[in-house]
A and B are shown apart, each in its own frame.
Chain A
Amino acid sequence: MTAQLFASQLTLFRGERCLFTDLNFALNPSQLLLLEGRNGSGKTSLMRAIAGLIEFESGEILWGGISVRSNRQAFHGALVWMAHRVGFKADLTLVENLRFESHLRSQSKADFDDVLQRLDIDRLKRLPLRSLSAGQQRRVALARMLLSQVPLWLMDEPFTNLDREGRALVMQLTTEHLADGGMCIMAAHQDVEIDADVTKIVLQ
């Protein structure tokens, strides 16, 4: 039986530099893939490549047994990505930003207010994003993840800029997502305390 997400023989270059060769991994529902490594070891590049923004030099990723390259739409429909940069418009309000997201990927609008409440950002709804702190903006990015209701979460350094409470929240949410049968690929350079089936990849 093949895994839901299966990566074989991945090789990635950034410019002249080879980040890794022949990387293999598999991910199934309720599993967490943890990417570790020093700064500059290529965690973010790997994450971007998995998301399909960078081309691998060789190797391929299969989603549900089908190559992602030939079935980009289905794969992108199944993932949501929390990147370094939050990817919101500073001039638009929180609600306007999240409403725009609903055009990019399907959202469950039913529990919109619940999600904002859970993340403790519901009182910031009408504020333009530029007036939010970096940590609050990260919480809005978390709201995007929760609203999208897709199986695969890609999280690049999700703890950046978050306070202790926020970090605990991220771990809590991830644990719940995995318990619901979701999958998560997370790049982090600090200890992650998540009670789940964890696979680690350490990039040199």
Chain B
Amino acid sequence: MTDNDESLGIFAGTLGVARRDLLLAWKRPGDILNPLFFFAMVATLFPLAVGPSPEQLEFSGPAVLWVAALLAMLLSLNSLFLSDFEDGSLDQMLVSPLPLSALALGKTLAHWLTSGLPLVLVSPVVAITFRMPFSVTGILMLTLLLGTISLSLLGSIGAALTVGLHRGTALLSLLILPLAMPVLIFGARTVSLVAAGDGVAGGLYFLGAYAVLVLSFAPFATAAALRISNE
């Protein structure tokens, strides 16, 4: 065991939960890979449906990648609290003296590291197939990086609200997608504008500011929702 300390840090609680979830993900790598395959699949569907015309692919690339990323995030959110709810770990977290919001933030952090970050890292590979220039790909990664943080945080609220409900998956999409519109709009449009040779700062500032805003309330909303759902 580690050194003997009696103090319980809030921050340590957040990291402890995140570390446990990362360890779990490590033991079940399929849970990380499935949303990535899904992302690649959706991105493949578009060219097949639209046709191989290079201009069209170049034009629709940012939008397709962003929509695919949004859907892939949604897919991974469903299971965020499900296993904790089913095996009783959630009960134990609820009776911990630590603030539940800190623990929920840990769950969200692990979720972002196992689903948001991999999407950011894989996106250049998919972007190449859409003939995206390297300079634009960098911006795409940056918008995805900022956007997926917001999506993880918003999604954790939805996952907490729907945990333990039947038909949870479809409901989760209905709850989260309208809230995620600003992220999609700014993410995809910023990349499109850059591809058209426009400025980039405004969109990135918005995505950053939005992530900070969501970070300021999402852990508390998630905690409240978890308490309610687990009654």
Q: Which residues of A contact B (CB under 8 A)?
A: 48, 51-55, 73-74, 76-77, 79-81, 83-92, 95-96, 99-106, 108-110, 112
Contact = CB atoms under 8 A, between A and B. Distances in A.
B135 interface: no
A187 to B, nearest CB: 15
A86 to B, nearest CB: 6
Which size class do B's interface residues fall under? Answer: 35 or more
Given A92-B23, A100-B16, A106 B91 contact: no
7 contacts: A76-B97, A85-B87, A87-B87, A89-B24, A89-B83, A89-B89, A104-B96
Interface stretch (B1-9, B124-132, B178-186, B192-200): B1-9
A112 B3 CA distance: 12
B20 A109 contact: no
B20 A89 contact: yes
Contacts of A87: 87-92
Q: Is the interface of B mostly helix, strand, loop or mixed?
A: helix
Nearest to B228: A55
Interface in B81-99: 83, 87-99
B13 A104 contact: yes
A77 B1 contact: no
B55 interface: no
Contacts of B23: 92, 96
A79 to B, nearest CB: 7
Contact of A104 (B1, B19, B93, B231): B93
A85 B89 CA distance: 8
Interface string B1-31: 1101011100011011101100110011000
Contact of B6 (A53, A99, A106): A106
Contact of A84 (B88, B95, B99): B88
A91 B27 contact: yes
